[in-house]
Structures are given as C-alpha cells and as structure tokens.
Amino acid sequence: MTPVLRSESMPVQESQTHLLIIEDDKGRKEFVLEEAIYFVGKSPDCHLQLQSPFVSRRHATLERQENSDGTYSYQITDGYPNGKRSANGLMINGRKIINHILQDQDEIVFGPQVKVVYYLLKRDSFVSAPLDEFDITLISPNMIDEEENL
C-alpha cells in the first residue's frame, strides 16, 4: 500500500472536537459539544444536567461562536441569556467570571465538588483522491504465525 503524501494541491481541513469532562455528585461523564447552544444546570429542561444542591436550576449557557478561520469556539455565560445570574456564579481557572470563551483545558467550577474541564481536540485531515477499490493488502495465515513466534 502506498502512503498518501501531502501535496500543495491537497487542502488541509482542521477537524475539531469540543469535549467536556463533567464531575458532579453522580460521578464522572463525558459530553461532546456539537449544537449551537446548551443550557447548563440542575433543571430537567437543561441540556447538560449537573447533580448538586450547589448548582442553580439554570446555572450557565454555552454558545457556539464562529471564528474568522472557519473553526468555532464556545463561550460560557453565567445564567441564561437575558436572564438572571446563577446563585454561586462560575469560577473559571480559579477566577470568578461572568462570561468566557473556552480554551483547551479550562476548568469551570459550578460549586463544591462540581467541575467541568473543557478540551479542544484538534487534528488535521487531508482531502485526498478517492481510494482505489483494487488497492488491498492480503495477509496470509503464515504471516500471523511468524509474528507470534518472534
């Protein structure tokens, strides 16, 4: 199999994954951000429910914002848009903040034992020609046995 080499004619596209690691009274869970807006709180109507008596019913809002390079970021705001702020506020990286554009590995504290860590995972993907349907690699059973005996 011939490796695909990048040439100047192949455009590079940046792929992003926006990931939250959530720790609250119910344990730890992962959540991938894909939508334009999320409401965060302990209310059942929130997209991201946090389980703790220290979290407000409608504690925060996450909104996707497009960047000039075609990628996007998420901004977190204390409370709901045009609504009141949460009772305990947001601590982001140790500072009390009303709104903040999230950066990789930001730690958001909603209250005692309730935190969220944001990760921005990036990788470059290259647009290449379609795969050749006849470009296959055959593995002989003898090849597998030889590797195991090494």
CATH number of the domain bearing residue 18:
2.60.200.20
Question: Is residue 84 domain-resident?
Answer: yes
- Residue-number span of the structural domain to which 113 is assigned: 12-126
* Residue 98 confidence class, pLDDT cut points 50, 70, 90: very high
pTM, two decimal places: 0.72
Nearest to 24 by CA among 118, 111, 93: 111
Question: Is residue 5 domain-resident?
Answer: no
The rounded percent of the chain whose pLDDT value lies above 70 is 73
pLDDT above 90 for 97:
yes
Question: Is residue 110 domain-resident?
Answer: yes
What's the Cα-to-Cα distance from 145 to each of 1, 136, 141, 148, 150, rounded to whole Å?
Answer: 22, 21, 7, 5, 9
pLDDT above 90 for 6:
no
Question: Is residue 147 domain-resident?
Answer: no
| Predicted local distance difference test score (pLDDT) of residue 129 | 54
- Give residue-wise pLDDT tens across range 33-84: 999 999 999 999 999 999 999 999 999 999 999 999 889 999 999 998 888 8
Question: Is residue 34 domain-resident?
Answer: yes
| Number of domains forming the structure of the chain | 1
Question: Is residue 2 domain-resident?
Answer: no
| Predicted local distance difference test score (pLDDT) of residue 99 | 94
* Residue 9 confidence class, pLDDT cut points 50, 70, 90: very low
